[in-house]
Amino acid sequence: MLEIKNLHASVNGKEILKGINLTVNAGEVHAVMGPNGSGKSTLAQVLAGHPAYEVTAGEVIYDGVDLLSLQPEARAQAGIFLAFQYPVEIPGVSNSYFLKTGLNEIRKSKGLEELDAMQFLKLLKQKMQIVEMDPSFINRPVNEGYSGGEKKRNEILQMAVLEPRLAILDETDSGLDIDALQIVAEGVNKLKTPENASIVVTHYQRLLNYIVPDVVHVLVNGRIVKSGGKELALELEEKGYDFIKDEIAAAEVA
Amino acid sequence: MAHETAQTPYINDHRRFEGNGASASPAWMKHLRSAGIASFGELGLPGQDREDWRFTNIAPLAKQAFAVSPKRDYPELTGARLERYTIQKDEHRFVFVNGHFSPSLSAVNFSANVEVFNLASAEARDNADVQRHCARHADMRTNAFAALNTAFLSDGLFVQIPEGITIDTPIHVLNVSVQTDDEPARASYPRLIVTAEKHSSATVIESFISMSARASFTNAVTEIVLAANSSIDYVKIQNEHVGAFHMHTVSGEQHAESRLNMFSLAMGGAISRSEISVALEGEKADVNVNGLYMADGTQLTDHHTFIHHKVPECTSHELFKGILDGSARAVYTGKVYVDAIAQKTDSKQTNRNLMLSETASVDTQPQLEIFADDVKCTHGATVGGMNETLVFYLKSRGIGGATARGIVTIGFAAEVTEKIDHAASRSMVDALVVSQLRKKLGNEIPEIVHSGKHDEKE
Ligand SMILES: Nc1ncnc2c1ncn2[C@@H]1O[C@H](COP(=O)(O)OP(=O)(O)OP(=O)(O)O)[C@@H](O)[C@H]1O
Ligand SMILES: [Mg+2]
């Protein structure tokens, strides 16, 4: 489904991703862990098409298409969704309008009929129930004045409404209380079908108790230095990044 | 015979005006008028050699002659046609047609003992409060347009909110400019005086609209005086036709612990300028001066603000935002002046401009002049395109193109319209902003919603 080959990316002339290789098959959940500043968010943003990051080498094939040639909105329409580590506020624009417009753009691109206000509201209410969000958020401006946890929950709501094929969650678990964590996990698990996949960026093994990953990757200094099963996350939690320090040293030198 | 200058037609017009029906005015008013024309004659129409007119070229206004509008009926101007300008159904509505009060189009129903006078009425002539405040606050010695307005002083509105009284229903002054095709180009000189006595409060909205597409000239003066502990919300909505010239002098005077919350929306007019000055005369007075200007085509929009901190412990906050498209030009000059004794002044002044085209331009000049040493004063200005982080967020949800630009623009505008406390005024301003943007970017542009901060005033 997604094949990342030797991906290099830089921002303001500084190289951050230094040759990422990663293959995600339909039906899989991949976890990406790694120290602060190692490039996890950069990878997520590059996949979603943030214009500030320049891809200097490598390629990304998504469902047989050259993903990097697509505009961000076309990627979203093709089923890619990024839950932002830092969701932005849009004063003046209601959550429901924002989501309805996004959903309808995606539906249009697939040749599906647009939902009208009533149909959409019904859907939105359903999804809000799943992520346990108060209905007052329907008409509140997008993310404006929300608490950290509410913003994260709102990202999951968007994911639930847009029903992506490939969801990329960038530290959606940080700042969440334990209940919210379960809700987020549930959101991801509900999405899990043989056709879909997700990449979950996290610092905590905790989330992986709820979302059981098929593969865990460790990203250090712009490279994936180790990949393994779910037990790798446990090991990391226990021992820190020190126990793979040889791999880290190798990444640092290169 | 003196040589002809741009102000000659106005001086001649004033002479005709005094010779006609204006003789019914009381002596004090005539006196003010002669002072006004004398000052205007000395000052002349401002040229760009004047520091505070450096960025604003009024040549297109100066090269035409606009004669003062006579009081007359326009049968096509009906209450039904003015319906859509209503802010709130039960508002106290004062309609002025080309500067003349129209009782038949107005609807006023005060339950409290509010002093309201039409300046042209017999009752206003002898009223001490009217005489004390009318044309006493706006500075006509340095401001040519305030002087010119005073030269034609004969009609207008005086409102005094009595001590301790809160007027819940807004006072809406609707200034309509209208001319038939066979009339010469018209000028009107609206004047509004609002005084809030101690511990009183009210919301005052002043709208400026024009019913015809022809060039017209509105030269208005608004004077607002706040006694100790009083509170006024003042909203100005300027949505005249793009052929209109609009000059407006707003002068505020605040006494101890009073609160003035102003908002200025500027959308219409070929050239429009709002010159807002507020003198903080009493300790712990608080003023907010906010505004939004939107201009397109070849429009020129100008806001000029002057906040004078004369005593300690006053606060002033200013946020002006501009959305500029086409070859429009905007000017923002904001000066905060802090006297040496005005310690503990807290002042913030911000101007932000969103440029939707490469050919639009803006001259922005926030300025501070501080003579006290224990103050907290900040100012800043930005001019830029779309917030790219926001645009990316929208695109990542499948929303691109004009809709994304519209949403970002809505967000930009909403950040300042949310500062209007009075709910119905805020809705009106929001609706005007949205309809303007829909013309540009399509009907996908959403209604503006605000977070629930204002619920207490709805
Ligand atoms: N726009 C930018 N300008 C400059 N540097 C940037 C920019 N974006 C990212 N970087 C730098 O790139 C590096 C990787 O950042 P990134 O956000 O990808 O890290 P991360 O692995 O997600 O870290 P964290 O765990 O703290 O979220 C950091 O050193 C960061 O400072
Ligand atoms: Mg990160």
Q: Please tell me the distance from the alpha carbon of residue B53 to that of residue A152, in angstroms, as a whole number.
A: 50
Confidence (pLDDT) at A207: 84
Which pLDDT value is given to residue B401?
82
Q: What is the pLDDT of residue A107?
A: 95
Instruction: Using an 8 Å CB-CB cutoff, list chain A residues near B394.
Output: 73, 90, 98, 102
Distance from CA of A130 to the nearest CA of B (A): 20
Query: Can you give the length of chain B in residues?
Result: 458
pLDDT (tens digit per residue) in B58-81? 999 999 989 999 999 999 999 999
Per the document, the length of chain A is 254
Q: What is the whole-number distance in angstroms between the Cα of residue A34 and the centre of ligand 2? A: 9
> What CATH number did the domain enclosing A46 receive?
3.40.50.300
**Residues lying with their CB under 5 A of ligand 2, a single-atom ion:** A 40-41, 85
Beta strands in chain A (DSSP E): 2-11, 14-24, 29-33, 53-62, 65-66, 80-83, 90-94, 141-142, 166-170, 197-201, 215-220, 223-228
Contact check, Cβ <8 Å, A102/B398? yes
Please tell me the distance from the alpha carbon of residue B193 to that of residue B117, in angstroms, as a whole number.
10
Amino acid B318: pLDDT: 97
Residues B444, A19: Cα–Cα separation, whole Å = 41
Q: What is the pLDDT of residue B453?
A: 53
CB contact under 8 A, A88 and B390: yes
For residue A88, give the 3-state DSSP assignment: coil
Nearest to B50 by CA among B275, B213, B264: B275
Question: Each residue of B200-235: pLDDT tens digit?
Answer: 999 999 999 999 888 999 999 999 999 999 999 999
Contacts of A162 in chain B (CB under 8 A): 397-398
Q: For ligand 1, say whether the CB of A12 is within 6 Å of any of its atoms.
A: yes
CB within 8 Å: B418 and A106? no
Q: What is the 8-class DSSP label of residue B269?
A: -
pLDDT in tens, B283-340: 999 999 999 999 999 999 999 999 999 999 999 999 999 999 999 999 999 999 999 9
Nearest to A90 among B401, B407, B418 (CB): B407
8 A C-beta contact, residue A171 and residue A161: no
Residues of chain B in contact with residue A99, where contact means CB-CB under 8 angstroms, are 397
At A178 the pLDDT is: 84
What phi-psi label fits residue A174: left (phi over 0), alpha (psi between -120 and 50 degrees) or beta?
Answer: beta
Report the sign of the C-alpha dihedral through residues B336, B337, B342, B343, in that order.
positive
Contacts of A102 in chain B (CB under 8 A): 394, 397-399
A25 lies within 8 A of chain B by CB: no
B231 beta partners: B201, B259
How many structural domains comprise chain A?
A: 1
Q: Which residue has the tokens 């001649």?
A: B12
- Can you give the pLDDT at residue B456? 37
DSSP H or E segment with residue B244:
none
Question: Are the beta carbons of B449 and A92 separated by less than 8 Å?
Answer: yes
Residue A252's pLDDT is: 67
Angle at B334 between CA B328 and CA B337, to 5 degrees: 170
Q: Is A145's Cβ below 8 Å from some Cβ in B?
A: yes
Write b or e for each residue in A130-145: b if 16 or more Cβ atoms lie within 10 A of its Cβ, otherwise e.
ebebeeebbebbbbbe
Round to whole Å and give the CA distance between B254 and B279.
Answer: 6
Q: Which of A52, A76, A93 sits opposite B411 (nearest CB)?
A: A93
CA gap B39, B43 in Å, rounded? 6
Q: CA-CA distance, B174 to B155, in Å (whole number)?
A: 14
Say if the Cβ atoms of B396 and A48 lie within 8 Å: yes
Q: What is the pLDDT of residue B400?
A: 87
Q: A152: domain range? A: 2-253
What is the ipTM for the molecules in this complex? 0.94
Is B400 at the interface with chain A, CB within 8 A? yes
Q: What one-character-per-residue DSSP string does B50-77 give?
A: SGGGTT---HHHHTS--EEPPP---TT-
DSSP letters of B349-361? EEEEEEESSSS-E
Q: pLDDT value at position B321?
A: 98
Chain B contact set for A91 (CB, 8 A): 411, 414-415, 418, 450-451
Q: Exposed (0-12), middle (13-18) or buried (19+): which is B359, by Cβ within 10 Å?
A: exposed
Pairwise CB contact (< 8 Å): A51 & B410:
no
The predicted structure's pLDDT at residue B1: 43
* Ligand 1 touching residue A88 (CB < 6 A): no
Nearest 5°: the CA angle B188, B189, B192 is 135
Torsions phi, psi for B24 (to 5 deg): -70, -15
A162 and chain B: CB distance < 8 Å anywhere?
yes
Query: Of A50, A76, A109, which is closest to B397 when you measure between CB atoms?
Result: A76
Instruction: Pick from B352, B399, B455 the residue to mutate for testing the A interface (most A CBs within 10 Å).
Output: B399
pLDDT averaged over consecutive 10-residue blocks of chain B (458 residues)? 76 90 80 95 92 92 92 92 95 96 93 87 88 91 96 95 95 96 92 97 97 93 98 98 96 98 97 98 98 97 98 98 97 97 97 96 95 95 92 94 88 94 96 93 84 49
Q: Which atom of ligand 1 is nearest to the CA of A34?
A: 21
- pLDDT number for residue B3: 65
Over chain A (254 residues), the average pLDDT of each successive run of 10 is: 95 94 94 92 96 95 95 95 94 91 93 93 92 89 90 92 94 84 84 90 85 91 89 82 73 64
Give the pLDDT score at A211.
87
Q: Is A202 in the pocket of ligand 1 (CB under 6 A)?
A: no
